């Protein structure tokens, strides 16, 4: 605050082309991020790898910083030099809270990187069970393919992530959990459990919420 008041350049660069905002985002200093943004720092600034502060915060799992940057208007679909979005990076490092924040903000769950990997491909490749679960609940496409014609399930099989394989191979039941009639309707929260009506969902919620 003192340095900013004294007129120091808020857009100064180091050897990696990091600005003060890049550094604050990287290390999770949300109060400093707020201060720099209030002083007019550019939230879309890029480093040598074309990463923005939002990329760095997502990669390091700093949920509070991600929220601050999104509120300031940071582009959630911005690409770095490998065409990774912040969601790709959060999924790659298995930062569940950041993945949830980005998805809630409307981040594209089907976006592709330079290898045509979607976030679900990355999660399956790395064996990140929670990230896979979150993405599936958000409606991510299990059948999409990479540039090598790999699905998320085939990637999980390749690297021995058996729990992820089971999650991806599972087929949702079309039978209402309460009255057992056939239905295509799903719980609006997890998108998996079948309920034929709001009445049945209400009746089954107490038991279902433990796994929703």
Burial classification of residue 188, based on how many CB atoms lie within 10 Å of its CB (0-12 exposed, 13-18 middle, 19 or more buried) = exposed
109-171 topology per CATH: 1.25.40
Q: Which CATH architecture has domain 1-107?
A: Alpha Horseshoe (1.25)
The ranges of the chain with pLDDT < 70 are 1-9, 171-174, 184, 190-192, 211
Q: What is the pLDDT of residue 122?
A: 98
pLDDT value of residue 6: 57
Tokens 């290390």 belong to residue: 27
For residue 125, the tally of other CB atoms under 10 A from its CB is: 22
> In DSSP terms, which residues pair with 112 in a beta bridge?
none
> Interior CA angle at 187 toward 184 and 192, to 5°?
70
Domains 1-107 and 109-171 share a fold: yes
pLDDT number for residue 2: 46
**Which residues neighbour 35 within 8 Å (Cβ) at sequence distance 6 or greater?**
1, 4
Q: Greatest CA separation found in the chain? A: 70
State the burial class of residue 193 (Cβ atoms within 10 Å of its Cβ: 0-12, 13-18, 19+): buried
- Residue 67, helix vs strand vs coil: helix
User: Cα–Cα distance between 196 and 199 in angstroms, integer?
Assistant: 8
The contacts of residue 140 (CB under 8 Å, 6+ apart) are 109, 110, 118, 119, 120
Task: Please tell me the pTM assigned to this model.
Answer: 0.76
CA angle 108, 110, 111 (to 5 degrees): 70
Q: Give residue 124's pLDDT.
A: 98
Domain ranges of the chain: 1-107, 109-171
Q: Please list the helix, strand and coil fractions of the chain in percent, rounded to the nearest 5, in that order.
A: 45, 0, 55
pLDDT tens track for 35-90 = 999 999 999 999 999 999 999 999 999 999 999 999 999 999 999 999 999 999 99
What residue spans of 75-118 are helical by DSSP H?
A: 86-92, 96-104
Whole-number pLDDT of residue 120: 98
């Amino acid at each position: 605050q003192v340095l900013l008041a004294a007129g120091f350049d808020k857009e100064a660069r180091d050897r990696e082309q990091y600005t003060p905002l890049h550094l604050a985002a990287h290390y999770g200093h949300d109060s400093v991020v707020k201060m720099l943004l209030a002083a007019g720092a550019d939230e879309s600034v890029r480093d040598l790898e074309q990463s923005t502060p939002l990329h760095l915060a997502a990669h390091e799992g700093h949920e509070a910083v991600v929220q601050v940057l999104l509120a300031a208007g940071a582009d959630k679909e911005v690409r770095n030099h490998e065409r990774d979005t912040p969601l790709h990076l959060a999924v790659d490092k298995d930062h569940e809270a950041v993945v949830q924040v980005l998805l809630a903000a409307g981040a594209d769950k089907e976006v592709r990187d330079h290898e045509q990997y979607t976030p679900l491909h990355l999660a399956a490749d790395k064996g990140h069970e929670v990230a896979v679960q979150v993405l599936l609940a958000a409606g991510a496409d299990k059948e999409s393919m990479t540039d090598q014609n790999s699905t998320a399930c085939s990637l999980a099989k390749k690297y021995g992530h058996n729990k992820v394989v089971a999650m991806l191979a599972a087929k949702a039941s079309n039978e209402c959990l309460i009255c057992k009639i056939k239905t295509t309707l799903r719980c609006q929260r997890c998108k998996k459990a079948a309920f034929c009506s709001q009445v049945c969902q209400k009746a089954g919620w107490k038991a279902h919420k433990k796994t929703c």
